[in-house]
Amino acid sequence: MEPNAPVYFTRGNPATDALPIDDFRECADAVFKEQGRVLFQYGHYSGYGLLRQWIADWLKVDYEQVLLGNSSMEFLTFAAGLFLKRGDPVFLENPSYDRAITAMKRADADVVGIPLEPDGIDMAAFEAALKIKPPKLFYIVPDFQNPSGVTTGVAKRKRIAELAKAHEFLILEDAPYRFLRYRGEHPPTFRELVPDNTLHISSFSKIMSPGVRVGILIGPPDIMPKLHKWSEDTYIHPALVTEGIVYEYCRRGLLAPNIEKLRALYQPRMDCILQMLETNMGDAEYIKPEGGFFLSVTLPDTVDGRALQENAEKFGIVLSDGSGFFTDGKGDNFVRLPFCGLSEEEIEIGIQRLAKAIAHYTA
Ligand SMILES: Cc1ncc(COP(=O)(O)O)c(C=O)c1O
C-alpha cells in the first residue's frame, strides 16, 4: 500500500479481488441464451422459480417457504412494514446492525436494545424486558454479528427459542455471515430450533457478490403468503436478471468452492487482526470471532472515544461512527473493525495507527 494512504475500517465489503466476475460473464451468457425470454419479462412476485427451487433443495425447506428479494436489507423493511405498527415493541441486540435499527425506527416501532455480551444477549435483561411487554419481533444476527463479531452461544439460542414460543414473538434471524466460519462448529440456527417462530434472512452478498442484490427469506408456511403478497405489492417482483445469473452459478456447482475460497482468503486476515490486537490493544476489550467480517473493540472509559472517532483520519485510519450501532446512540467507545476487504499489510498498519490514536486520546 502507498505509505500515506488511509486504512478504511468502515464498510463490510467483500474483497474486490475475490468477486467471481469471469464466472458471472459465462453464466450470464449461458442463462440469457437459455432463459432470456423469462428473465427479461415480468415474472413471479416471489422471484425466479429455478433459483427458489435450488435454494429450497440446498437448505432443505419447501419451495413455498422461499422468498427471493432484492437483497436481505429489503427484507428488514418488509418485516418492519408487515409486522410492526406504531409503538409496537421490537427487540434488538445492543449494539446491532445500524441499518436494521434505522428500518425499525422508520416503522415508528418502540426499539428496545438488549445489551450484548461476548456469547450473545444478556438473558436477564431480555427476560426482564419480556416481562414488561413481549416484542412483535426480535431482530438478531446470531452468527458473527455485524458490528461486534459476537456469535450467540447454543444455550442462549435454545432459551431464546423457548421464550419465542412461550411469548409468541417472531425471531428475525439475519444470517448473511453464517457460511463464513473459519474455525469451530456451527451452532443451530433459530430456523432449525424454532421454525414456526423464525423468519430467516440471508443473501448472496457476502458469499458471492453484493452487487447482484439477491436476498433470501425463509419463513413458516402460514406466514409466507403475507410476505409473498407484500413483495408483489411493493415491486411486482424482484429483479430476475441477476437471479438468473446467480441460479446458473449455483447450478454449475460454483457456490460451494467459492465459499471455500473465501474462507481460505479471510481466515488469515482474521488471524492477523487478532494477533495485532493482542500485541497493540492494552486494556481495550475486544471480541474474538471465529468467522464473518467484523470484530469490535470496546475502549476503556479513560479514552475519549468521541474525539478518537472524529479525528481518526489525522492518524491515517477511517472509522465508522460507533454510536450508529447502538439503539440509544451510546457507542462513542465502540470501534467496529471489518477485516475481510483489507490485506494483511493494511491490517497491520491500520491497527498500529489505531493504537497510536487510542494512546493519544487516553487521559
Ligand atoms: C447483518 C446484516 N444484515 C444485512 C445486510 C445487508 O446485506 P444485503 O447486501 O443482503 O442487503 C448486511 C450487510 O452488511 C449485514 O451485515
Pocket of ligand 1 (CB under 6 A): 12, 71-73, 97, 141, 146, 174, 176, 203, 205, 210, 215
Segment 177-185 shows an average pLDDT of 97
pLDDT at residue 11 above 90? no
Segment 110-118 shows an average pLDDT of 98
Find cell 423469462 and name the residue: 38
Closest CA to 192 of 242, 157, 141: 157
Judged by DSSP in three states, 276 sits in: helix
pLDDT at residue 221 above 90? yes
Segment 130-158 shows an average pLDDT of 98
In a mutational test of the pocket of ligand 1, which residue from 11, 70, 72 has the highest number of ligand atoms less than 8 Å from its CB? Answer: 72
Segment 44-60 shows an average pLDDT of 97
* Predicted TM-score of the model (pTM): 0.96
pLDDT at residue 1 above 90? no
CA dihedral sign of residues 67, 70, 72, 76: negative
Instruction: Tell me how far apart the terminal alpha carbons of the chain are, to the nearest angstrom.
Output: 32
Q: What's the confidence (pLDDT) of residue 63?
A: 98
Per-residue b/e over 75-104, b at no fewer than 16 CB within 10 Å?
Answer: bbbbbbeebbeeebbbbbbbbbbbebbebb
Grid cell at residue 309 = 472517532
Render pLDDT for 55-86 as a digit per residue (tens, 0 to 9). 999 999 999 999 999 999 999 999 999 999 99
Render pLDDT for 244-303 as a digit per residue (tens, 0 to 9). 999 999 999 999 999 999 999 999 999 999 999 999 998 889 999 999 999 999 999 999
Closest ligand 1 atom to Cα of 205: 9
Instruction: Count CA atoms within 13 Å of residue 255 on its CB side.
Output: 20
Per-residue b/e over 41-59, b at no fewer than 16 CB within 10 Å?
Answer: eebbbbbbbbbbebbbeee
Q: How far apart are CA 289 and CA 205, in angstroms?
A: 20
Q: What's the confidence (pLDDT) of residue 300?
A: 95
Q: What's the confidence (pLDDT) of residue 250?
A: 98
Closest ligand 1 atom to Cα of 12: 14
Centroid of ligand 1 to alpha carbon of 362 (angstroms)? 33
Closest ligand 1 atom to Cα of 202: 10
Closest CA to 191 of 46, 55, 54: 55
Shortest-distance Cα residue to atom 14 of ligand 1? 12
Render pLDDT for 115-134 as a digit per residue (tens, 0 to 9). 999 999 999 999 999 999 99
The pLDDT confidence band at residue 327, using thresholds 50, 70 and 90, is: very high
Q: What's the confidence (pLDDT) of residue 235?
A: 93
Segment 186-212 shows an average pLDDT of 98
Centroid of ligand 1 to alpha carbon of 303 (angstroms)? 30
